[in-house]
Structure 1
Amino acid sequence: MLNQTNNDSVLGGILSDGLPVGLIAVDRDYRITRWNYWMEKYSNISEQDILGQNLFEKYPDIRERGREHFLTECVEKARPFLLSPIIHEYFIPLEIVKNDEMIRMIQNVRIYPLIKNETSEGAVIVISDLTEQILHEKEIQRLNRILRGTRNIDRLIARTASESELLNGVCAILTEDIGYRLACIGLVEKTAIVKPVAVAVAGYDAHETESIRNDLEEILNIFKSGDAPLTNRIQEDSVSEIRQLAEKTGSNSFCLLPIRIDGNSIGMMNIYSEKQYVFQGEELELLDDVTSDISFAIKTLRDRAARHQAESDLRASRKNLLFMIGELTIARKAAEAGNLAKNQFLVGMNHEVRTHMNVIIGMINLMLMSSLDAEQRSFMDFAKISADSLMKLFINIIDIADAAAGRLKLEEIDFDLKSFWESVIKDVSPDIRRKGLDLVSHTGFDFPLCIHADPDRLSRILVTLVGNAVKFTEQGKVMLSVEKESENEKEVILHFSIADTGIGIAPSDINRIFEKFTQADGTPTRRYSGIGTGLTLSRQLIEMMGGRLWAESTPGKGSTFHFTVKVKSS
């Protein structure tokens, strides 16, 4: 507020020619009494020509926009006001040059009463030019919106299943999330014609969007041979087809970016904006990255489709297998509740599943013996590992069912323990070394080397426990040990242990892992595969051999699984 004692000194200071703000003083009749150099510069009106004129008559826009009450209340009630540029944009209409164009100045306005003898005799209006700052902030907001849009496009690419879904989704994000007026993606057909396969226009329904598809096709084919991004502000000398489409959609600038795979153009992305001078700098780089991501996604989808076609027979067998696994899953749930009928169902399914699995494994083996390139061999190796694992899983489930029904029997024979141990070490070594782990074997063969037991079941227990150790160990080693625990005239008790340096098991999970179809981490997002049949079956087999199975573990340091079996000396 300007009072009597400092009116003259303050006005004299702030009205200096070097002040970077506009200053207008009016009396109680709103006649202009001061008009500084800054106002002369941006209004192109000298102080001499404007002094004495009524501000509202000189600038009727103030009343037309309903802004006069700020000034009248300031004069009549001695109330100062601050007019935010975000809400009011400007008070006095002034023009400035921006990008070679005249635009309306965005103003921060302060209105102060002029007080003399405690009476308001007028007001001072102080105008600051915030155009550059506001436009810069809006540009940052727009770039942030583009960045968010490109992240949404990345997410879309990660989950998309078809070219149509991908391209329509990208166009929708460009118009709805980023705010462009129109987005179109065209792909080159076998006839070398570029067809717009995805189109989105902000504010248009499906019928209105379809009405401009032919216009877009003409434009895409005019520029289809271009190798570099084409951007332009739409002017009178622009290509007529672009100018006409811009008039239909209310656009003022456009860009065309090629989509290439392995250096060959497969299409174009065409975008239109209501704003001018937008497709440049960082924005153009981000959009060029989008076309690169689209290229990668299209190539991935097309490669995937080609592989699927080549492997259609294998996929058909897999679907049949998945159906049968679904039936087995139903049986598994019933088995958890001790439903004997489901165990009988599993036994009934034994022949059917083994037959299909043997066919699949046989076909995979035949494929592996044929001429394959490196990528195809990798696919078939992975298929064989999966098929073998699935066969083992099915056998485990059948054996669990047999055990529950009392049909599981041991087949005991005489065999050499040392040769048996060496065979087990040979079987598990590839998996251990493939994962980069060390294998340590310890034997205390101070007991009879020839024993009477079931070597197949015993080997299966050891392979299962070693497999679990390898699965849950990322670095370090796996240690296998067999020792004699005790003996009498009729039998020997052997003590086996399998230790690892893996992730370990929480104390609360030690007992639970031996339950049917259970893992220590039972969540849907668990890291390690498996449905929890190996330990359950191993415990049943060990108990049938007169022994027991237990575990010791420290989370983060590793686990050791122990089991004992009673065998006869021979």
Structure 2
Amino acid sequence: MLNEKQASKKVVRGFRWRYCLALLMIALLSSFSFSLIYRVLELQLSDGATINMAGRQRMLSQRIAFLSQIYLEASPEFTVSHSTSESLQEAAEELFHSHQILTQLSIRPLSKTLERLYFEGGEQSVDHRVRYYVDNVQLLLSVNSFSGLSNVNLLVFEREFVDGLLEDLNNIVNQYEEEAYSRSQDLLYMEWGIWLFTLMALLTEAIIIFRPMEFALKSSFRELFRQKDNALMLKFEAESATLAKSQFLANISHEIRTPMNGLLGMLNIMLAKPLPEDQKQRAEIARDSAESLMGLISDVLDFTDMESNALSIESNPFSVHSLISAVVEANVKKAEEKGLEFIVDTAELDEKVLLGDLFRLQQILDHLIDNAIKFTKKGHVIVTLTVDDSSFGQPKLIGVVRDSGIGIHSSKQNILFNVFTQIDDSHSREYGGAGLGLAIVKRLCYAMEGEISVSSEVGKGSTFSFTIPVQLSREHSEPLPVQDIETLTVLVVDSNQYHREVICRQLEHWGVTVQTSSDGQSALDVCLNLVGESQSIPFDVVIINENLPGISGVELGSIFMTDVKLNRMKSILMVGATSTLENKYIRLNGFFAYFEKPATSYRLFSALYSVVSPELQWGTDAFSVLSRHVYLLQAHSDSIAKEMAEKPVVLVVEDNQLNQEIICQYLHSLECYTEVASSGKEALEKISRRMADPYTFILMDYQMPVLDGLEAAEYIRQGMAGDYAKGTPIVIMVSSAMKGKRGTFIDAGIDDVITKPVNKHSLSKIVARWKGGDPHFDLLQESQVVSDKEYSNSQE
């Protein structure tokens, strides 16, 4: 590498030296040519002026002779006009002045010929005669009487003297012209010489400067082309290696996920049975470790897709509330297990359906929330989602994740989104992680033409904000029922200030009159004081958090129920996601409904709706404790309820025997019959033999030998397993890295997707959705789904 740099510098120096030399030669030639041309022009001007002056001497000598004759003819009185005297005087002075310039003050010294013509001959020389001629004119002009002519030599005014002087002056003019012509010829020869010298100089430049530069450039270009060919070859090899690596990662992902799926399945089955406390704790640790490993594998695969430009961004309709529900379900338990308050602020969200990539948006939020939970030891994590469509530009989905964690120093914030980067090694050791999450978030934001930023203060927490351009869909999400709740008065009892504020903003947005209390005792005091002031009930509804300082939430509900002054208020309990309170226990303590925290707008409205209109049920985000399980039957017609009561028959297509066993056990616990096929080809054979009693739905793995899941689905849709099976719902099991390839699934005729490793919770939702065969629950339409990973609770 060093030799290449030195060679490159040597070539550059050689070029620089040569073109500097060429420029110097051109500059010298240009300067010399300019000087010569300037000198030529100067000499030509000088010669022209000299020749004109010499020629004018001839004319002046003739004029003086003419005026002198006029002057002499006027004697003896010398009555000549004043103008004649002045003209004669001026002519004499001008002749003398010109003669002095030509003989004594000339710019160029006189040639020997001109000296001989001017000064040779003594009294007969031109110089002497001109001076003598001018002197006699001056004497003539000073004569006032005839007697004064004796001082004037009148012979100088005779024709013989004047013609002789004129002839000599004419010879001088001719000599000037000849010398000027001779000099112009010399300059012409010099110009020819400069031209020839310039040609020689340019030829020399071409030989010793430009020719070597040409050879050097050709050599450099040959080397560049050689390196380009090498680079293209290396690029091809790198692309091939990347493709091979991607294929390897896809294969190894399947190979890792298959045993991991078995491991997680067996652990979940084990945990579903009564175990000694120590064994249960160990099993839970093993399950958590396996899930962490699966998450890391998914991050590595996602990042690999981004590095190889294989990341696909789709645009499908989804409701923002479905995104919120998915994010809550995926993260709330982690936050509660760490003792954090998980708060979701949806007060400013309307019932909008957007066009975008739901899976990638959930991925962004999951990474940011996971990061916030990881670096927060106590306090809260607040998630806020809004849709800004007020401006004339493109609507934007704005997400903010705030925490009360350790914070980030300003000097570290600029490297926070770099790959494999954490704040410092101590944090990496204490909190773990591979440093991929935020890098994936940044790349996903940029891939969707969005942006992400962070603001943080050490010891006070961090705030991550992202903005993603979206489109408004023509579809509409399920609207909130028309219900007059504006007349309600509600007391919110919650010890967490941020959670109280979120609930209050949401209720006030609906026009509800709200009052708050931070603990059970203050809430009881407020109610008793209001009862004392008036005989009416203090509040229509009281929303109580399960965990309160002092008097607990359940105890407060029991107090309200047993107090004759307060028992007409309808109490709603907010429970944690990990709460173990049972329906019956909640009902016995005076509560009319309950819902799991955090209090999203859908959960809050569902709870209010269930107590205001107990004969109806809207949604399943909150449950009336009187008839929670009856509402599912009320929501469907008698025919659908009958179909749901029948046990579905599911064909499980999975090549791994351990996964077959785990999935079948899950389905059996969900009251489903199962049949098993180990490949796509075997599945087609089994489907074709069930003409009289088709499967309720087909649960099929994506990667299988002989015939994979997509190919098998295409064959089923083409009728190769029988025309009666064309409409059988097909649910495909894929890794999380494949979830973004929705278009591929749609083209193959897939109806639903479930992420591996499969667990009982997600599988129960699939069963609830498809055992009735209702096409309105199609995941790929997304108008009623919660997320790519967890679906709408509306059919639980």
- TM-score if structure 1 supplies the norm length? 0.38
- Give 1 or 2 for the bigger CA radius of gyration: 2
Task: Choose between structure 1 and 2 for higher RCO, CA contacts under 8 A separated by at least 6 residues.
Answer: 2
- TM-score if structure 2 supplies the norm length? 0.28
Choose between structure 1 and 2: higher strand proportion: 1
Choose between structure 1 and 2: higher helix proportion: 2
